[in-house]
C-alpha cells in the first residue's frame, strides 16, 4: 500500500485575488452600489460615524489570512461616484511574511468622479525578515474631486529572528480623466540599506506617505500637518505636488505603532480642511 503525503507537505500556491468596490451617492448618503470582495479580504458593514457629515461612508477592510505571503498577487479597484464620500481603512497593520522566492504584490486602481471624496488610509505594512512587498497604485481624479491616499511600513524583527526585510517598493500614478498626468512617484528601499542614524530614514524604524489631490482651497497648510505629526512623536515634511495638484507628505516614526498615530493625526487635519468639518475618531 502506498501512502499519500499529508496535504501540509505540499507547497502552497501563490494567491491571486481581485476585489472591486463602487460607492455612489443615493438617498442622501453614500452607499455601496457594487462589491466583490473575496479571500483574503473581509469587508465589514458600512458605518456612518460623523454627525456633521452623515453622507460619509466608512468601511473597514480586514485580512482573513494573517497577512501577505510570498507570491501573493492581489488587486483592488475602488470607484467613487459623483458627490459620493468614502473612507476606506484597515482594521490594523498588515503583516508581510518572509518572501524567500517571490515578492508579494498589491495593485490598486482608484477613480474619483466630480465632487467625490475618497480617503484610502491603510495602517502600516509590518515587514518581517526577508519580506518583499511591491505596491502599484493608479489613480484618476476629477479636477473637482478629492483623494487622500496614505500608506507606509515598519520593519519588525521578532525575537530569535535575524536579518531584516528584503525590499519595499511603491509606484503611484495620478492622472485626470482626460489622461493628463499629474504625478508619478516611485521609490524603493532595501532593508540592508537601513539600520543606522545616517540611513535613508535617518535611523527611524518606520516611514509613510500621504498624497492629497484636491483643489487648493480645500488643502490645509503644511505647518498644520507638520505640527499634528510632531505632537504624536513623528517627523513630517510637506511639499506641493507637481502641477499644483495638491500635497505630498513624507513621514518617519520610531516604529509602526508611532507611524499609525502620525498617519491618523495627519488624516484628521487633511480631512477637516477638505470637508470643512472635523471627523469622528475611527476606532480600531
Short-list 42, 265, 62, CA closest to 249: 265
Flag whether pLDDT at 7 surpasses 50.
Answer: no
DSSP state of 52: T
Within 8 A by CB and 6+ apart from 245, the residues are: 174, 182, 183, 213
Flag whether pLDDT at 168 surpasses 90.
Answer: yes
Within 8 A by CB and 6+ apart from 221, the residues are: none
Flag whether pLDDT at 3 surpasses 60.
Answer: no
- Across the chain, mean pLDDT equals 93
Length of the chain: 284
Flag whether pLDDT at 128 surpasses 60.
Answer: yes
pLDDT of residue 146: 98
What is the mean predicted confidence (pLDDT) over 258-284?
96
pLDDT of residue 12: 53
Flag whether pLDDT at 180 surpasses 80.
Answer: yes
Q: Which band of pLDDT confidence, cut at 50, 70 and 90, is reported for residue 123?
A: very high
The domain locations on the chain are: 15-205
What is the mean predicted confidence (pLDDT) over 174-188?
97
Q: Which band of pLDDT confidence, cut at 50, 70 and 90, is reported for residue 45?
A: very high
Q: Which band of pLDDT confidence, cut at 50, 70 and 90, is reported for residue 13?
A: low
What is the mean predicted confidence (pLDDT) over 215-226?
97
Flag whether pLDDT at 43 surpasses 70.
Answer: yes
Residue 78: how many CB atoms within 10 A of its CB? 20
What is the mean predicted confidence (pLDDT) over 12-35?
90
pLDDT of residue 197: 87
- Looking at per-residue pLDDT, the higher value among 160 and 175 belongs to 175
Tens-digit pLDDT profile for residues 101-110? 899 999 999 9
What is the mean predicted confidence (pLDDT) over 53-65?
95
pLDDT of residue 14: 63
* Range scoring the smallest mean pLDDT among 8-22, 36-50, 92-106: 8-22
What is the mean predicted confidence (pLDDT) over 40-58?
95
Within 8 A by CB and 6+ apart from 250, the residues are: 207, 208, 209, 236, 237
What whole-number distance in Å separates Cα of residue 94 and Cα of residue 122?
9
Q: Which band of pLDDT confidence, cut at 50, 70 and 90, is reported for residue 9?
A: very low
Q: Residue 213 class from Cβ within 10 Å (0-12 exposed, 13-18 middle, 19+ buried)?
A: buried
Amino acid at each position: 500500500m502506498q501512502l499519500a503525503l499529508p496535504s501540509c507537505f505540499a507547497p502552497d500556491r501563490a494567491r491571486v485575488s481581485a476585489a472591486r468596490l463602487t460607492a455612489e451617492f443615493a438617498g442622501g448618503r453614500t452607499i455601496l452600489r457594487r462589491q466583490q470582495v473575496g479571500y483574503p479580504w473581509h469587508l465589514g458593514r458600512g458605518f456612518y460615524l460623523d454627525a456633521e457629515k452623515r453622507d460619509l461612508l466608512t468601511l473597514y477592510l480586514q485580512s482573513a489570512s494573517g497577512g501577505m505571503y510570498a507570491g501573493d498577487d492581489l488587486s483592488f479597484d475602488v470607484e467613487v461616484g459623483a458627490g459620493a464620500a468614502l473612507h476606506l481603512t484597515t482594521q490594523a497593520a498588515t503583516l508581510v511574511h518572509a518572501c524567500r522566492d517571490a515578492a508579494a504584490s498589491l495593485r490598486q486602481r482608484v477613480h474619483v468622479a466630480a465632487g467625490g471624496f475618497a480617503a484610502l488610509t491603510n495602517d502600516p505594512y509590518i515587514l518581517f525578515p526577508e519580506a518583499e512587498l511591491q505596491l502599484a497604485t493608479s489613480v484618476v481624479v476629477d479636477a473637482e474631486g478629492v483623494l487622500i491616499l496614505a500608506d507606509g511600513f515598519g520593519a519588525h524583527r521578532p525575537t530569535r529572528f535575524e536579518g531584516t526585510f528584503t525590499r519595499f517598493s511603491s509606484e503611484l500614478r495620478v492622472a485626470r480623466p482626460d489622461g493628463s498626468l499629474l504625478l508619478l512617484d516611485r521609490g524603493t528601499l532595501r532593508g540592508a540599506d537601513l539600520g543606522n542614524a545616517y540611513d535613508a530614514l535617518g535611523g527611524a524604524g518606520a516611514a509613510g506617505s500621504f498624497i492629497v489631490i484636491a483643489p487648493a482651497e480645500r488643502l490645509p497648510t503644511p505647518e498644520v500637518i507638520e505640527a499634528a505629526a510632531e505632537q504624536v512623536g513623528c517627523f513630517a515634511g510637506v511639499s506641493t505636488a507637481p502641477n499644483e495638484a495638491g500635497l505630498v507628505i513624507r513621514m518617519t516614526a520610531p516604529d509602526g505603532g508611532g507611524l499609525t498615530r502620525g498617519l491618523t493625526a495627519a488624516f484628521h487635519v487633511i480631512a477637516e480642511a477638505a470637508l470643512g468639518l472635523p471627523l469622528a475618531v475611527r476606532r480600531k
